[in-house]
Structure 1
Amino acid sequence: MAAMFHRRCGERITLTNGNRTAIRNFAEFNYGLVLSAEPLAENQLFEVRIDKKISSWSGSVEIGVTTCDPDLLEFPSSATDLRDGSWIMTGNSILKDGRSVVEVYGIDLDKLKEGERIGVMRTSEGELVFYVNGVSQGVAADDLPARIFAVVDLYGKCAQVTIVDSEVGVPDSERSESEAEINNDHGMMTVTNLVANLNVNMNVNTAVAVPDRLQFHERCGTLVKLSCNNRTAERRRPLDEFNNGVVMTHRPLRENELFEIRIDRLVDKWSGSIEVGITTHNPTALEFPATMTNMRSGTTMMSGCGILTNGKGTRREYGEFNLDELREGDRIGMMRKSNGNLHYFINGLDQGVAATKVPACVWGVVDLYGMTVKVTIVDRDEREEQNLITRRNT
């Protein structure tokens, strides 16, 4: 059944179009709350289009979720006044029960124009994710209750919205194809992957504008020191401490974009070494763990020769290399392909499918753990590719 707004709504709202369009009285700026008619299903994207904005007032549309039942709710003047388990995105901040929990998150909703779309989803893992024009803004909160309603506040400049039917995720045809690529017995590469090894550069996005080159996000583990325009990360006190060395990319990875780092320095102490992967958690909102394998949602990491998803082993033996055995100068890369598959690359060699159905919005993660002390993000061009493969893998 198509999503609709609940018939009970803010006192200045008029519902039309089968309760799929909400209009606020232009003469007022508040009392424009609408809720979904039904609780959100897991992984259901509830999305609206901004139909009309006016020049009067300040502020604009707000969106979120609440445990409040619209049949029983006494509607407040704005979404930020909701309590009893309510998470609201306002501007580019996240509020829980009226209090700020994430100061900087995603795209600023106040800057959106007519025709643009905003959406909200509770994932099957209990994570709250907001979408702008179909693009995930990352995990805003976790451990959400199972029964929640979507909330839209036609506040300030936003005077009219309409629900749009949306579908996110990997299409079924691509899912079946990606699932077929995995060999669960030995983690060995398929013929398709072997062919891809010879042409990995053709799948790499080498047209990234220089101002948007990947770098490490300024928010990172407590023992990390960044340098070289945030392209080099180094763990402080490497002979005294072995963790708190997590770094993430400053922006989400694009489809088919290779994120690759070079190991610059190792120390002959500790057990374990570098761990690399992806996460849906936005670094602006993340409370950085001591090690990334402690994350219990939205995170896939390669550690040693295995793959861990949310801290639990999902592939005991993956690829042809053990990260603990890599040397200074070796390179590790990762790529989320357009079909939702995650691949790792060691010195240019594709190690095959590590995970499938990876969300579209993920950040690259490097954990300077144990023996690994320093890494640098590297760019690759086609001339380097065969030399990288030849150096270590022939």
Structure 2
Amino acid sequence: MAAVSDLYMRFHQIHGANVRLDDSQTQATRAESFGNGVCFSKEPLDPGKIFLVEIEEKELGWCGNVRIGLTAHDPRNLETVPEYSLPDLVNLGSSWIFAITRNHNKVTTDDQQSNPAPKSHCSMEAFLQIGNHKVPKDKLVGRSRPGRYSHILDQLYKTNILPATARGSRVGVLYIIRANMGDLHIVINGEDMGPCARGIPINQPLYAVVDVFASTKSVRIIQVDYGFPSLQTLCRQVVQKHIMHRLAIDWLELPALLKNYCKYE
């Protein structure tokens, strides 16, 4: 299990002043106020690989929600982390950030306008096809916290009826290469909302950006497995199968990083 950390997508240690990361660097919580919540992926994204987060906590009293996108700025080279992703980080250039809503200003071609692709909220396909890339769908859809109405809420996530920024919703960003440029896609609970931006230069590393802004209080990275299950994934499945509830993993005599890997997918 020593290689678990190598497979993890994590948040960068450089982030907004109000952000607190947990020990696994997969949970980002805004400790106070409503701004200074900008976070970055620890490593640049590869084409077709999604950076996926689940909204864990909400905070009443603020207007606005999580923002997500890409930046070509290496966090280590920023003099200071901008207070807001919109407009501050975008104003630095080479950043493509979007506020999460159900309807984005999608970039469409003439062919797409005349022949729009049919939408299916209840597709049984195992993968979400975006360009030439397939993203496993099993982790893309939000899940409720265990409780009396879990079965109802889980169905609402699957049909994408709940607000895009509801607690438990899963929001991700990825890019694909088309004509030697990047197309940015945002995915909400398994539904592709993009392309939201096109013509992104790919001659430099692109980092995911998550702005834990306003009503969004805390987010956690969801690890997405591509291809055949890894040894780590198979071991995690065995652990999860033999416990009554994932919170019981805290009681196991395992390293903290492995507990997080088992508990938070």
- Cα distance between partner residues in 1 of 2:189 and 2:225: 12
Kept in 2, the 8 Å contact 1:62–1:109? The answer is no
Amino acid at match of 1:119: G
- Cα distance between partner residues in 2 of 1:141 and 1:164: 23
- Cα distance between partner residues in 2 of 1:116 and 1:33: 19
Kept in 1, the 8 Å contact 2:70–2:209? The answer is yes
SS of equivalent to 2:76: coil
TM normalised by structure 2 equals 0.56
Cα-Cα RMSD: 2.8
Kept in 1, the 8 Å contact 2:107–2:195? The answer is no
Cα distance per residue 1:342-364 (max 9 Å; x no partner): xxxxxxxxxxxxxxxxxxxxxxx
Task: Provide the identity percentage.
Answer: 31
- Report what 2:194 is aligned to: 138
Kept in 2, the 8 Å contact 1:66–1:87? The answer is yes
Classify 1:132/1:59 alpha carbon distance in 2 versus 1 (closer, same or farther; 3 Å). same
- Report what 2:53 is aligned to: 48
Identify which of 68, 71, 80 aligns with 2:76. Answer: 71
- Cα distance between partner residues in 1 of 2:192 and 2:106: 18
The reply to whether residue 5 of structure 1 matches residue 61 of structure 2 is no
Amino acid at match of 1:47: L
- Cα distance between partner residues in 1 of 2:186 and 2:162: 11
- Cα distance between partner residues in 2 of 1:58 and 1:19: 27
- Report what 1:154 is aligned to: 212
The reply to whether residue 86 of structure 1 matches residue 95 of structure 2 is yes
- Cα distance between partner residues in 1 of 2:29 and 2:19: 5
Identify which of 176, 184, 190 aligns with 1:123. Answer: 176
TM normalised by structure 1 equals 0.38
Cα distance per residue 1:13-55 (max 9 Å; x no partner): 1110411110101x30000010001111111100000000011
Identify which of 54, 57, 61 aligns with 2:66. Answer: 61
- Cα distance between partner residues in 2 of 1:110 and 1:144: 29
- Cα distance between partner residues in 2 of 1:3 and 1:150: 11
- Cα distance between partner residues in 2 of 1:35 and 1:109: 26
The reply to whether residue 18 of structure 1 matches residue 71 of structure 2 is no
How many residue pairs end up in the alignment?
Answer: 163
- Deviating beyond 6 angstroms after TM superposition, the runs of 4 or more aligned structure 1 residues are 107-110
Shift of 1:145: 2.2
- Cα distance between partner residues in 1 of 2:81 and 2:106: 26
Kept in 1, the 8 Å contact 2:100–2:165? The answer is no
Shift of 1:138: 2.5
The reply to whether residue 31 of structure 1 matches residue 31 of structure 2 is no
- Cα distance between partner residues in 2 of 1:155 and 1:19: 18
Shift of 1:166: 2.1
Amino acid at match of 2:63: S
Structure with bigger helix share is 2
* Long gaps (5+) in structure 2: 1-6, 109-159, 229-265
Amino acid at match of 1:84: G
Shift of 1:67: 0.8
* Long gaps (5+) in structure 1: 95-101, 173-394
- Cα distance between partner residues in 2 of 1:109 and 1:148: 30
Cα distance per residue 1:194-230 (max 9 Å; x no partner): xxxxxxxxxxxxxxxxxxxxxxxxxxxxxxxxxxxxx
Kept in 2, the 8 Å contact 1:47–1:119? The answer is yes
- Report what 1:281 is aligned to: none
- Cα distance between partner residues in 2 of 1:104 and 1:51: 30
Structure with bigger strand share is 1
- Cα distance between partner residues in 1 of 2:163 and 2:93: 25
Shift of 1:134: 2.1
